Amino acid sequence: MTMKVHHTLLLTGAAGGIGIALRERLKANCDVLRLSDRVDMGPAQAGEEMVLADLSDAAQVSTMVQGCQAIVHMGGMATEGAWDTLLQANIVGVYNLYEAARQHGVKRVIFASSNHVTGFYRQNETITPAHPARPDSLYGVSKAFGEDLSRMYFDRYGIETACLRIGSSFAEPKDRRMLASWLSFDDLHRLITACLTTPVLGHSIIFGISDNAVAWYDNSSVRTIGYRPQDSSDVFRDAIYARTPEPDLSDPTVQYQGGGFLMAGIPMTAHKNGA
């Protein structure tokens, strides 16, 4: 049974793919689920509040945060893209969110970080939250910034944060890489629930993955949070192998944990061509 430890819980990015998946699930965690995005989210259902807000607008973010007791921050840009867009959505936006949390006395935030913070580790390595960041993209850099900012807000203002380095959260894994990085929607909800209800969260970095047989991440140092994944990508393995070709081991997207993000935007090989 999911405990309701917060009256009003804010979910940002509610119109995105993960936000839609969490919308019904998170109602079990609160009396009122406040949904926010910069685009229409449809009509409010029972137990919901709607707030349209652009994360780059500090006044709108302040209104969005006021009156909530905890924040599940899934908003912002979720892919590699133009720097100006990432700057507003993922850097200015996360600063506005933490400033609003400080001003309105919110003491717990669940921050959607990303496995792309560590995408330049190789796929034959196992890493822990203590490993240094090695972003694979500007997107990964923006998430690393969010992790550092949240650490400062914890050390200075006592705002506890769980930085969830979400792997690949979809209904099912799409390719061989996702056999290692997959996080089911139900396990994501279990992870968020653990972070919302654990007595002492502090500032924690947690890899968001299900109980996959193949894994690049070791979460043993944060078992105190109480997250126990129950799903696994293993049930999809045979079907994925059958429909996908053998990997090219000379391909950087196969060698490194970040996969295709290494070649998104300006690819990492651009310097060889004088770009």
Mean pLDDT of 100-113: 98
pLDDT tens profile 238-267: 999 999 999 999 998 999 999 988 888 766
Distance between CA atoms of residues 119 and 114, nearest Å:
9
In this model, does residue 273 exceed pLDDT 70?
no
pLDDT tens profile 184-218: 999 999 999 999 999 999 999 999 999 999 999 99
pLDDT band at residue 122 using 50, 70 and 90 as cut-offs: very high
Mean pLDDT of 102-113: 98
| Dihedral Cα 193, 199, 205, 207, nearest 10 deg | -40
Instruction: State percent of the chain over pLDDT 90.
Output: 89
Distance between CA atoms of residues 247 and 165, nearest Å:
25
Q: What is the pTM of this model?
A: 0.94
Distance of CA 241 to the CA centre of its chain: 27
Distance between CA atoms of residues 272 and 275, nearest Å:
7
How confident is the model at residue 267, as a pLDDT?
66
Least confident of 57-61, 225-229, 269-273: 269-273
Query: What SS3 string covers 16-38?
Result: CHHHHHHHHHHHHHEEEEEEEEC
Mean pLDDT of 135-160: 97
Query: Are the C-beta atoms of residues 181 and 209 closer than 8 Å to each other?
Result: yes
Query: Are the C-beta atoms of residues 156 and 200 closer than 8 Å to each other?
Result: no
| Dihedral Cα 195, 200, 202, 204, nearest 10 deg | -40
Look-up of token digits 């690819």: 267
Distance of CA 200 to the CA centre of its chain: 20
In this model, does residue 272 exceed pLDDT 70?
no
Stated as kind and residue range, the H or E segment containing 144 is: helix 138-157
pLDDT tens profile 128-144: 999 999 999 999 999 99
Query: What domains appear along the chain, each with residue ranges and CATH number?
Result: 6-273 (3.40.50.720)
In this model, does residue 53 exceed pLDDT 80?
yes
Q: Which one of 139, 153, 217, 227 is the catalytic residue?
A: 139
Query: Are the C-beta atoms of residues 139 and 80 closer than 8 Å to each other?
Result: yes
Stated as kind and residue range, the H or E segment containing 163 is: strand 160-166
pLDDT band at residue 1 using 50, 70 and 90 as cut-offs: low
Q: Could you tell me the sign of the dihedral formed by the alpha carbons of 104, 110, 116, 121, in that order?
A: positive
How confident is the model at residue 264, as a pLDDT?
81
Residue 206 dihedral angles phi and psi, to the nearest 5°: -135, 130
Query: Are the C-beta atoms of residues 108 and 134 closer than 8 Å to each other?
Result: no
Length of the chain counted residue by residue? 275
- Asked about 121 being catalytic, the answer comes back as no
* Token pair of 90 as six digits: 């993922």
How confident is the model at residue 268, as a pLDDT?
63
